[in-house]
Structure 1
Amino acid sequence: MIRTLLGRVTMYRILTLVLLVLAAVAFVLTATSRLDPSIFSLRGLLLTLVVLVVTSVVADHVFGLLVRRRPHTESAVITALLLWFLYWPTMELGTLAWLALTAVAAQASKYVLVWRARHVFNPAAAGVVLMILLGELLGDRVDNPPPSTTWWAANESMTFFVLAGALVVLYRTGRFALAVTFAVPAALLTYWGVEAFSDTGAAIEYVVYSTPIVFFAAFMLTEPLTLAPRRAQQLVLAVLAAAVFAWPLWNARVLDESIPLGPFEGTYELALVVTNAIAFLLGQRGGVRLRLRETRDLGGDVREFRFEPRRRVRMRAGQYLELQVPHAADIRGVRRVFTVASSPDADTVDIAIRVPEDCSSFKRAIADLQPGDQLHATGVRGDFLWPRGSAPVLLVAGGIGVTPFLSQLRHEPGRDAVLVYGVPSGATIAYRDELAEAGVPVVLVSPDAPPDLPDGWTHVAAEHVTGELVREAVPDSGDRRAFVSGPPAMVSPVATDLRKHRIRTKTDHFTGY
């Protein structure tokens, strides 16, 4: 229920709301003197926040105009809020000028430090690192050097609130494993470094209250466009990020003396930039230009869009891409994630979309596309992949959640697979002919029976697909690897039921940025 509710809101909006709540908490804690009054004041907090937000939004729009790309205001606001939590609040004009320049640098990184229209680095981290390098370059030639980051979101008074906000974000993104893989070694390395000159209790308090491990993991590390494309790669880079994150505290115990990493006294931002760069090298390395070849109706309100990529798309069957459609955007922005229905070997990139009468502005915009129109997509990602080898698989799809399975069946036509396919009506079955051609057994779940069934298909009269229905319809389900794809309201309960019966299950999960 919670995942379904959160799934209706874009991740940009979730992040904005959570960060705004944390900002409100900071104002309340400042007003009640729970945050150090010698550092925090309501006027300083507000002025710093206004400078960062205004500068970030204006810079985003200016750079967007210069390079003829639509700016993303909400993304600019998120970057400003993140930067706000990284620097002490201030009333000093010189320091505010540096912070404004940091916000400009952060936005510039989205338009300059790019490869084929995809930004490489987390904007907030990139802005901070650029200012550190600029400060090093200027040296003593400026009386007022750029301020150092403090990551003040990590403090005892805000610990519970940051943790609660992090749980919301991680639950929505499904990236608990990534966060934990970073947080555990980061905490252990930090504790090990601090414990060398402190007692156990003080070292633990330092790790819990004074290091931004949770904030970093939930709000910075999980930024989707800068992650490696595969889950295993992401986890390895999370460990590397932890090592760089805690470098100043633990390297002296290994090397007998502390060795700085260039001008970086603190290495939190550097950890992001380094892992972002490696993730970029592991991925598609850039966006994909797609030219619409044709569209076709698949039945009901489902339509297929077949695109020709300007260059070959590196992908595996079952992966997804993020499509950007310029239009007068609704609250969810100009991007959506879609699983690719075509085989990796095909010369087209096919996606299927439900386009109901009362649909979003995004869907109206894509429905109005004409052959020859061009769109931009980010690199292909995802781990909803069949196991290597010949292990039998159980496929459970709801509606157009069948698209990854179509790609996989086209790519591996000889695989031992059974598909349980839930549709609103037996009279309109998306990809009916293609699935029949694939030759796999299909259990069709719909309230009404279809006019005819292809050979090897069976029909179960039901409103929804359930775990119990799947197990009864596929007697050998316990011997198969299960894959579940579709709307969250179906995926979560079905996957939970199958796992309770010890069936290894993987779900198709989109973050909805």
Structure 2
Amino acid sequence: MTILSSLDRLLGRISMVLFTAVVLALLLAVAGVQAGLGSLPYDWAVLLPAAGSAVVGSLLGTIAGALVTRSRPYLPSSAVTGLILTLVMPATLGWQVFLLAGAAAGASKYLIAWHGRHLLNPAVVGLLVIGVTGAGVSTWWVGTEPMILPVLLGGLLVLWRARRLGFAAVYASVAIGLTWFGYVLGGAEPGAALRFAVVSAPTLFLAAFMLSEPVTSPPRAWQRAVVGALVALVQVLPLYLPGGGVVLGTLTITPELALAVGNLVAFAFGTRARVRLRLVRRQVRGDLVDLYFAPSRPLRALAGQYLDVDVPQAGLVADRRGRRRPLSLAGDPAGPEVRLVTRLRAAPDARPSPVKQALVNLPPAGEIAVLGVAGEFLAPRPGRPALLVAAGIGVTPFLAMLDAAAGSAPWGGAAGGARDWVVLHAVTRAEDALALAAPPPAGVRCLLVVPPELAAASATGWETVVGSVYSADGLLALVPDVAARQVLASGAPVRLEPLRRALRAAGARRVRTDVFLGY
């Protein structure tokens, strides 16, 4: 197992919100040490009350907003919001200002929302409120040289966990490049301008801890690139405009205003309608839970993408990973039912998490909410042979592709051409084999790959073969022309890494992967 796959397994054990909160708390601790060394103008005597006030304010605002809108409050994110505000606002503003910013941020998750999805990053709202009211300003002191290394290291971990490295890279490269150019135009020496653009600017912190927020991110990579470039462009406008970028009265162009503009554009790209899923039926096979839901309205999703769902039945803070889960679509998104499959236990000897147990115990007609749709693991390009290889539950996005293709001719709406696809579903336990919802389309061969002791295993729509996908010889015995095919692979990190190596050894030139974290 590689370092990155080990990192995936480690980070997948806790929620994105909890992990981000831990990293932010560590940054605050580093700031306290730096202040003690005289590198920052604050000390613990002001940092701790500021952080406490911001977090408490965010908690109170979250509860109040949920009460007003009759929603279930999601409290763990309040720590993230409060810590971000603490690292961006000057600690000398006073606890009342931090309480105000936190309360505005927390309430905005419910009051500035559309069908249950908040439009703006909560911390952005808090910063804008204190700016507009004149209560204070943001200084983004976390974006200074003493903090650059811990922000960079912690930010990379957060971005890796969120799978938002590309999003942040587009924004950061444009922002740094335009900032550098603006200072050079103003007469700065190029080296000094570059140093300032990197180590004395809010760019890195904003990219890692605010721009990357999943709920306010667009679902597709190209959309995220557009939003990232736009946020960077708006952020640097004061360098190029007379008057320092004043746009309305005392309101100036700030990083938080730039991110607010980006959030609104991202909202236009994303799922704007509230979608609730009502349980129709459930099948449990061993450790797998196969769920079929009726959506309250059609999903705006593509086969291969995943849903970010909220399972309120798990309770407020019972699950250390939070009550949200990314679950791959296992059926045609355009179909009358939404099929989701999840593994009950993260490991054979582990206890089911409260969220997984809540899904198992979900009563008939019980509902969960869709918070968003995302994912770039889409069906292969038409016109070329393809090989789709799944390790265990990693087959779910392929099930969606097969289901979506069952009634289309040709696949994906492309004109002309016969299909030539091979789908390999490798399992080590008979109960892990997932059935197809419809017979495979013409030109598609679906093989259930099992070890010798499971030769009698079967699943609807699959042809059972004894073999292995974890060696080049095993793959070539099943698919002799691996090198001629575009290849997609999906599964948990512990399975995906050896699978990728075997595919490379078998001649695959490029392997597109979908990593299942925490399943």
- The alignment's TM-score, normalised by the length of structure 1, stands at 0.89
Distance 1:373 1:321, change over 3 A: same
Q: How far apart, CA to CA, are the structure 2 residues paired with 1:455 and 1:120? A: 42
Q: Check the 8 A contact 1:398/1:421 in 2, yes or no.
A: yes
User: Matched residues in 1 for 2:517 and 2:60: separation?
Assistant: 27
Task: Supply the distance in 2 between the matched residues of 1:324 and 1:334 (Cα, whole angstroms).
Answer: 6
Alpha carbons of structure 1 residues 249 and 381: separation in structure 2 relative to 1, 3 Å: same
**Residue aligning to 1:349:** 338
Confirm or deny: 8 A CA contact 1:336 1:512 kept in the other structure: no
Alignment partner for residue 509 of structure 2, among 503, 506, 513? 503
1:175 aligns with one of 148, 161, 164: 164
Count of aligned pairs? 490
**Residue 270 of structure 1 aligns with which residue?**
257
Please identify, of 192-201 and 317-326, the stretch whose mean Cα deviation from structure 2 is larger: 192-201
**Cα offset for 1:467?**
6.3
Identity percentage of aligned residues: 36
Which residue, 46, 50, 53 being the options, matches 1:51?
53
Contact 2:288/2:341 (CA < 8 Å) preserved in 1?
A: yes
Contact kept? 1:174, 1:509, Cα under 8 Å: no
CA distance in 2, matches of 1:106, 1:229: 23
CA distance in 1, matches of 2:514, 2:97: 43
1:150 aligned counterpart, secondary structure: coil
1:120 — aligned with what? Answer: 119
Amino acid at match of 1:432: A
In structure 1, the partner of 2:33 is 28
**C-alpha RMSD of matched pairs (Å):** 2.4
AA of the residue aligned to 2:18? R
CA shift at 1:475, angstroms? Answer: 2.1
SS in 2 for 1:261: strand
Counterpart of 2:487 in structure 1 is: 482
Offset of 1:310 from its aligned partner? 1.2
After TM superposition, list the pairs within 5 Å mapping 1:67-146 onto structure 2.
67-90=69-92, 95-133=94-132, 135=133, 145-146=134-135
Equivalent in 120, 145, 152 of residue 141 of structure 2? 152
Deviates more, 1:479-488 or 1:304-313: 479-488
Any idea what the Cα deviations from partners look like across 1:249-282, whole Å, max 9, x if unmatched?
A: 1345xxxx75433344342001211111111111
Q: Deviations over 1:395-426 (max 9, x none)?
A: 1112221111111012124642111212122x
AA paired with 2:14?
A: V
Partner in structure 2 of residue 393 of structure 1: 386
Task: Please say which of residues 4-13 and 333-342 is displaced more in the overlay.
Answer: 4-13
Alignment-derived partner of residue 287 in structure 1: 274
Deviations 1:376-402 (A, max 9, x none): 112322211114433322111122211
Q: TM-score, normalised by structure 2?
A: 0.88
Q: Distance in 2 between matches of 1:429 and 1:104?
A: 46
Aligned to 1:13: 18
Amino acid across the alignment from 2:69: V
2:204 matched to 1:211?
A: no
Superposed displacement of residue 456, structure 1? 7.7
Q: 1:90-489 counterparts in 2 under 5 A?
A: 90=92, 95-133=94-132, 135=133, 145-195=134-184, 196-251=186-241, 259-262=245-248, 263-297=250-284, 299-326=285-312, 327-328=314-315, 329-356=318-345, 358-413=351-406, 415-425=419-429, 427-432=430-435, 434=437, 437-438=440-441, 440-447=444-451, 448-451=453-456, 457=463, 459-462=465-468, 465=470, 469-471=474-476, 473-489=478-494
Is the 1:406–1:435 contact (alpha carbons within 8 Å) kept by the matching residues of 2?
Answer: no
Cα contact 2:69–2:111 (8 A) shared by 1: no
- Offset at residue 468 of structure 1 (A): 6.4
- Structure 2: state its 5+ residue gaps: 1-5, 412-418
Match of 1:141 in 2: none
Asked whether the 8 Å contact 2:472–2:503 carries over to 1, the reply is yes
Contact 1:51 1:100 survives alignment (8 Å): yes
**Cα deviation per residue 1:214-233 (whole Å; 9 max; x = unaligned)?**
11111111100101111111
- The worse-fitting range, judged by mean Cα deviation, of 167-176 and 218-227 is 167-176
